[in-house]
């Protein structure tokens, strides 16, 4: 068994539900003035799942597209990583079903629960596996957050959406490709800024439980905003330092699409012009871990990545967890 000097992203894919939910529908539900959501978040509409949609269904569609683009035998994929906060079931994990549906008969498969930073953690682990084992990895991030929204809570009801994105990470001998710099972070002192109270072993499901106990809540939106900007910007600087580059070397900035005001503030901190920022939030909302691979897939469709490009990816979310990656093509 031999490793690889580096890795390379060779396939991209994404999937979203068919149902479009415009701001007007949510503004009417929450008695907000027209235009409030767009001004505060940068979101114009989002996709929500309908009856019959499943997490593994969305993930399979995105994974299929990435694998087809990678154009390699399915038996070559040695590991499938699924970053999600909304698996089909609490047990078993959803990744083995995803791998089965994709025909990845020789792949290991596991779920990763990293909230909004889950894709960056999965991508980092995939890169390490590829370098150590010399075998490709499929990374999928997917969420159906519309089924976890508390419709009465403004802070979360206006933001969250459903989507899936996927990449294939393959071995490379070119040290200029793949993950050039990484910085991951966590701050458990702010563990409960975004949470779902019940359903874990600390507070199991029980008869008589209220709906709010099993739905998402954001305890302090302003605190989450400031912490996300700080964590995303700090990790981004560290990742660029590790890659030996600066903001001027970044061709495209691909932030987690949490809120347009958050990544605009991060741009200001980093000295990255808005024109270099990949923005998908207006049409797709915030699908947590799925936003970055969704954005990568859409960005590639709009303008294919070329040799020598450096992308900066950064995210922060519940936990708190965060991170940044400099990605070379």
DSSP code of residue 276: G
Q: Which residues are catalytic?
A: 116, 256, 286
Rg over CA atoms, the chain: 19
Q: Apex CA 163: angle with CA 45 and CA 296, to 5°?
A: 95
Distance CA 109, CA 98 (A): 8
Contacts (Cβ under 8 Å, ≥6 apart) of 144: 49, 53, 54, 55, 58, 86, 162
The three-state secondary structure class of 266 is: helix
208: left (phi over 0), alpha (psi -120 to 50) or beta: left
CA neighbours closer than 13 Å in the CB half-sphere of residue 271 = 7
Catalogue the E-assigned strands of the chain: 6-15, 19-22, 45-48, 79-83, 108-112, 137-144, 162-172, 178-186, 194-196, 216-218, 252-255, 310-317, 321-328
**82-109 exposure pattern, b = at least 16 Cβ within 10 A, e = fewer:** bbbbbbbeeeebbbbbbbeebebeebeb
Helix, strand, coil tally for the chain in percent (to 5): 40, 25, 35
| Contact present, 287 and 162 (Cβ < 8 Å) | yes
């Amino acid at each position: 068994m031999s490793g690889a000097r580096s890795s390379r992203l060779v396939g991209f894919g994404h999937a979203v539900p068919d149902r479009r939910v415009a701001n007007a529908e949510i503004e009417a539900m929450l008695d907000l003035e027209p235009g409030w959501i767009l001004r505060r978040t940068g979101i114009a509409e989002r996709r929500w799942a309908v009856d019959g949609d499943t997490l593994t269904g969305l993930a399979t569609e995105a994974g299929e597209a990435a694998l087809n683009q990678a154009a390699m035998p399915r038996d070559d994929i040695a590991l499938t990583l699924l970053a999600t906060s909304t698996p089909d079931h609490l047990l078993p994990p959803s990744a083995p079903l995803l791998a089965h549906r994709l025909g990845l008969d020789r792949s290991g498969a596991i779920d990763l629960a990293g909230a909004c930073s889950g894709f960056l953690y999965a991508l980092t682990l995939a890169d390490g596996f590829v370098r150590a084992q010399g075998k490709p990895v499929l990374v999928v991030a997917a969420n159906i957050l519309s089924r976890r929204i508390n419709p009465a809570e403004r802070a979360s009801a206006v933001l969250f959406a459903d989507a899936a994105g996927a990449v294939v990470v393959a071995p490379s001998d070119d040290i200029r490709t793949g993950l050039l710099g990484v910085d991951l972070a966590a701050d458990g002192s702010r563990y409960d800024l975004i949470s779902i109270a019940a359903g874990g072993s600390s507070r199991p499901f029980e008869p008589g439980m209220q709906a709010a106990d099993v739905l998402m809540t954001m305890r302090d939106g302003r605190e989450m905003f400031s912490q996300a900007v700080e964590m995303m910007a700090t990790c981004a600087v560290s990742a660029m330092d590790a890659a030996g580059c600066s903001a001027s070397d970044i061709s495209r900035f691909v932030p987690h699409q949490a809120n347009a005001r958050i990544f605009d503030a991060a741009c200001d901190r980093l000295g990255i012009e808005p024109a270099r920022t990949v923005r998908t939030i207006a049409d797709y909302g915030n699908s947590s871990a799925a936003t970055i691979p969704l954005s990568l897939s859409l960005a590639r469709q709009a303008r294919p990545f070329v040799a020598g490009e450096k992308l900066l990816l950064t995210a922060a979310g519940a936990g708190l967890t965060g991170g940044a990656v400099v990605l070379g093509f």
